[in-house]
Homo-oligomer: A and B are copies of this chain.
Amino acid sequence: MKTVTQLGPGRPRLEPRRRAGQTPRAEILDAAAELFTGHGYGNTSTRAVADAVGIRQASLYHHFASKDDILDALLGETVSAPLELAGKLAGRAEPAAVRLYALAWFDVSQLCASRWNLGALYLLPELRSDRFARFRERRDELRGHYETLSAAVIAEAGAAAGSPAGSAVPGAELLPFRLVESVIDMRSDEGAAPEYAEQLIPDAILRLLCWTGSLAETRSAALELAAQFPAEQE
């Protein structure tokens, strides 16, 4: 049941605005994220999104040409900040363990801090279409950063242990990215973002790579490093 509210001159809006976003675009994205993650992408129409914001469908189309465009914008939010950080970390002189820790800590934190668990949309079959090729490329690029940094950590750990190859299992560099994204499953299973994950996951990543230095020192250096790169406002 919808309430028709007369807000003054002009056409009545279906509902008073009740979204946190500061712009109509942000309100649309917030409503769509709630519906896509809570009700299902296939079960949600652009009409339902417009209703949830309290605007007409025609107004929604002024901002997004299609439901896929809304999804693409939401997915982009989940990779843009970690990708930006990864790019900056690539050129730094800090040990790879500190840089990988900083990236994983930042990424887990942002996946937890978002109002809706958007990573739950990564497995939608719709994402395999050409429409989402750019998003897939960007997520692949982020995965590549994790793999490069992880391989460098394995090399550092091996050098410290006096062995050229280290003791990490072959292919271990593929898994830190997966551990970071597992926070999406934890959040889904637990019904809330797991507060312990932003330390547990980066700590466990270094152990998985058979890196044997001090976690406390590396964590402290990593948080300091990440703080030097505040995320740019979109």
Q: Give A residues with C-beta under 8 Å from B.
A: 37-44, 120, 122-126, 140, 143, 167-172, 174-175, 178-179, 181-182, 184-186, 188-189, 196, 200-201, 203-204, 207-208, 210, 215
Contacts and interface: CB of A to CB of B under 8 A. Distances in A.
B178 A182 contact: yes
Nearest to A215: B169
A186 B172 CA distance: 14
Contacts of A203: 169
Chain A's interface: helix, strand, loop or mixed, by majority? Answer: helix
22 contacts: A40-B41, A40-B42, A40-B124, A40-B126, A42-B42, A42-B43, A120-B125, A122-B188, A123-B184, A169-B203, A169-B204, A169-B207, A171-B200, A172-B200, A172-B204, A174-B200, A175-B182, A175-B204, A178-B185, A179-B179, A181-B185, A182-B182
Nearest to A186: B178
Given A122-B185, A123-B123, A182-B181, A168 B41 contact: no
A105 to B, nearest CB: 14
Nearest to A37: B125
Contacts of A169: 200, 203-204, 207, 215
A169 B41 CA distance: 37
A120 B208 CA distance: 25
A172 B228 CA distance: 29
A188 B126 contact: no
A188 B40 contact: no
Contact of A39 (B125, B186, B207): B125
A171 B186 CA distance: 13
Contacts of A179: 175, 178-179, 182
Contacts of A175: 179, 182, 200-201, 204
B41 A172 contact: no
Contacts of A37: 125
A128 to B, nearest CB: 8
A185 to B, nearest CB: 6
Indicate the member of A43, A181, A186 with the most B CB atoms within 10 Å. Answer: A43
B204 A125 contact: no
